Amino acid sequence: MRTIVRTIWLNLALAASAVAVVDGAAWAELASYRAVYAMTLASTRSASEITDLSGKMALEFVDVCDGWTVEQRIALLMVNPDGREARTYTSFISWEAKDGTRFRFEQQTLLDGKTIEEISGQAVLEPAKGGIAYLTKPEKVEIPLPRGTLFPSRHTVELIARAQAGESHFLSVVFDGSTLENPNQVSAFIGAPTTLKGLGEGDGEQTAWPVRVAFFGLKQQTPEPDIEIGLMLQADGVAREVDLDYQGFTIHGELASFESLPPMDC
């Protein structure tokens, strides 16, 4: 179940990133918020290694003037075909510069109360040249980032900009620091926009797009993605719901609670 836990974080992290206008235009109105998602097992297929799953994901996103911070915690109870239960807990904290050039990250994953993985480090990018990720855990290592690599929030910036422009496909390379199998090639398909009721009392309607995102390792030889996710993504970066589609099962994340946070005095 170890790989499952890591991949769950990878996709939810990307789905919940902040949003801004691309290439020097004025920044969009970004809400700082706390949200909780209820996680359930939506479906299984033959030979699935999971027969039941439940849990929660708590996410806090804050605009800190020069960048964005994300703090995400996921607690899950998973059951395999033999009836064995596994309790997992994953925390991830990151900071990303608004200009897309710097990124810091720290992750810890526990299985039945024991730490099974820790990843931490930082990464730097030069848009015209690429960059390097410097990991300090689990060991000191440098990962080259090819030209055009994006960090998670910048990826969502580009994705929503293309959605607003009426585009239906976006292919990119993303480094998010959540696994050792980074960076990834990410292929996103964008559906027609829809209008959703605001989450808070008195909030206006929100434009949102159904998005399907597939993740491939840069050196992957098979045509099938490691995982696909479907989400309903608002123009302000909030994911109203998320579906994580693995080869053997699908996990559904439903937004259960939402709290707007006051903006910082910048």
| pLDDT tens for each residue of 20-30 | 444 444 344 56
Is residue 90 a contact partner of residue 8, using CB atoms and an 8 Å limit? yes
Is residue 169 included in any domain, yes or no?
A: yes
Residue 14 and residue 151: Cα distance in Å, rounded?
9
- Residues composing the chain: 266
Coil vs helix vs strand at 154? helix
| Whether residue 184 has pLDDT greater than 60 | yes
- Residue 81's beta-bridge partner residues? none
Domain count, the chain: 1
Is residue 128 a contact partner of residue 147, using CB atoms and an 8 Å limit? yes
| Whether residue 178 has pLDDT greater than 90 | no
| pLDDT tens for each residue of 101-122 | 999 999 999 999 999 999 999 9
Question: Which comes out higher in pLDDT, residue 21 or 57?
Answer: 57
Is residue 265 included in any domain, yes or no?
A: no
Is residue 201 included in any domain, yes or no?
A: yes
| pLDDT tens for each residue of 59-85 | 998 889 889 899 999 999 999 889 999
Is residue 104 included in any domain, yes or no?
A: yes
Is residue 23 included in any domain, yes or no?
A: no
CA neighbor of 152 nearest in space, from 120, 123, 109, 192:
123
Is residue 96 included in any domain, yes or no?
A: yes
Contacts of 240 (CB under 8 A, 6+ apart): 196, 208, 231, 232, 233, 234, 255
The single-letter DSSP state of residue 65 is S
Q: Structure tokens of 121?
A: 């480090």
Helix axes 2-15, 152-164, angle to 10 degrees: 50
Question: Which comes out higher in pLDDT, residue 227 or 259?
Answer: 259
Local confidence band at 4 (pLDDT 50, 70, 90 cut-offs): low
Q: Report the pLDDT value the prediction gives residue 237, as an integer from 0 to 100.
A: 84
Is residue 264 included in any domain, yes or no?
A: no
Is residue 266 included in any domain, yes or no?
A: no
- To which residue do tokens 């597939």 refer? 214
| pLDDT tens for each residue of 142-161 | 999 999 999 988 888 889 88
Task: State the CB neighbour count (10 A cutoff) for residue 223.
Answer: 6
Q: Report the pLDDT value the prediction gives residue 112, as an integer from 0 to 100.
A: 93
User: What domain range includes position 209?
Assistant: 2-18+28-259
